[in-house]
Amino acid sequence: MIAIKSEIYAKERGIVGEDIHEGKRTLMVSYAYYKSDTITKEEKERLLEILDMKTEEEPILREAINLLNKSGAVEYAEERARTMLEKAWARLEKTIP
């Protein structure tokens, strides 16, 4: 998620959309493909096509990032991460004096 939203992180890593470049089927990809109703079937297929390419071409990586954003997947993943963090802190608070 960081590599999708942070230009600084992407520059440090040398590539934008590193997980996309590596073809990873992340939580965001799963959400976009299986749960989202805001992108078309053709857009979902294009997302998988880009993942299979394992390209380093920034315009193509940005196309996939745009599809993930359009699908609501980035927002969904952020909310899931926030919820997991809150639950973890709640458990820790019970054990930390």
**pLDDT for residue 25 is more than 60:** yes
Going by the DSSP 8-state scheme, the letter that residue 56 receives in this structure is: -
Burial of 33: CB neighbours in 10 Å, binned 0-12, 13-18, 19+: buried
The band of 94, judged by pLDDT with boundaries at 50, 70 and 90, is confident
pLDDT tens-digit readout, 29-39: 999 999 999 99
Measured between alpha carbons, how far apart are the two ends of the chain, in Å? 33
| Domain boundaries, position 72 | 2-95
Q: Is the pLDDT of residue 2 over 50?
A: no
Token pair belonging to 61: 């990586």
Q: How confident is the model over 44-79, as pLDDT tens digits?
A: 999 999 999 999 999 999 999 999 999 999 999 999
Provide the domain count of the chain. 1
Rounded to two decimals, the pTM is: 0.81
